[in-house]
Amino acid sequence: MSTSASDAHLHDDLFAPDSDAVLQLRGVTVRRGTKNLIEDVDWTVREGERWIVMGPNGAGKSTLLQVAAARMHPTTGDVGILDEVLGAVDVFELRPRIGLSSAQLAQQVPDGEKVQDAVVTASYGVTGRWREEYEVEDEGRALALITQWGLSRLAHRRFGTLSEGERKRVLIARALMTDPELMLLDEPAAGLDLAGREKLVAQLTEVAEDEFAPALVLVTHHLEEVPPGFTHALLLRDGQVVTAGPIEQTLTEEHLSAAFGMPLKVSQHKGRYAAVAA
């Protein structure tokens, strides 16, 4: 049987993510009004990779992460997440497989929610415990994560009474609750003091170095927040990818200066990065 030209065209257009891709974007644009928040983004995150997404304010980082979290559909382009294709999958089944920590999510957690409940409710992908019953194992896992992230003494405190740093750790524990295959952290160190940031970087380094940890994507503005053990980076500016690839080829003075629009001096010491104006 012969294949018609239109059949062949249709076939070309079918998007099938690479078999080892945890996340794959092809030609992704998100448009609001006349503005492209992200434009023609190609990006592949493969199993075991740990990615930094960096760029100035308004570059489109959070938009990119919302797409990766199956919480926003692109205006054009294709998105593969964990063997599924956005638009052809029930996102409510997909979302529990993705761990997400973001300021938007923090706003959805009710102030009166107990810390333990803020973590365990991730099992159902909800924020705010109602009357749903949780398995004993779920409650046990939530407690283990609360302990691992240094939150034991806060387990019965209300989310609204926590400091910024404490909230950030609760959200990361919550993101790990479903044993996700992909973990997305949007500015987890924002608002932390120096010691808080350093503790978080150390904990994220441990996660990055754990071979059983999920593929990781961490959004940040600051080179100082890049945990050792991260393997790749994507730099964004005005919604477009400046460069993406292995971290040592990406977080260079040339590329970072281009992304932030100013000459920068970049240094590296014991796996940690720092930048100042050149």
**Residue window 164-203: x/- pattern of binding to ligand ATP, with contact defined by CB under 6 A:** ----------------------------------------
**What's the closest the beta carbon of residue 63 comes to ligand ATP, in angstroms?**
3
Look at residue 31 and give its three-state secondary structure.
strand
Comparison of 59 and 79: residue with beta carbon closer to ligand ATP = 59
Could you tell me which stretch among 19-27, 31-39, 111-119, 245-253 binds ligand ATP (CB under 6 A)? 31-39
3-state secondary structure 241-277: EEEEEEHHHHCCHHHHHHHHCCCEEEEEECCEEEEEE
**What's the closest the beta carbon of residue 103 comes to ligand ATP, in angstroms?**
8
**What's the closest the beta carbon of residue 225 comes to ligand ATP, in angstroms?**
13
28 neighbors 83 (Cβ within 8 angstroms)? no
**32 interacts with ligand ATP by CB under 6 A:** yes
Comparison of 59 and 217: residue with beta carbon closer to ligand ATP = 59
**58 interacts with ligand ATP by CB under 6 A:** yes
Comparison of 59 and 94: residue with beta carbon closer to ligand ATP = 59
Cα torsion at 39, 190, 108, 69 (round to 10°)? 40
Rounded CA gap, 99 and 82, in Å?
12
Comparison of 75 and 148: residue with beta carbon closer to ligand ATP = 75
Residue type, position 143, single letter? L
Quick one: residue 77, left, alpha or beta (phi over 0 = left, psi -120 to 50 = alpha)?
Answer: left
**19 interacts with ligand ATP by CB under 6 A:** no
Task: Report how far apart, in Å, the C-alpha atoms of 225 and of each of 153, 160, 180, 199, 275 are.
Answer: 26, 25, 23, 11, 11
Interface positions with ligand ATP (CB under 6 A): 32-33, 35, 37, 55, 57-63, 221
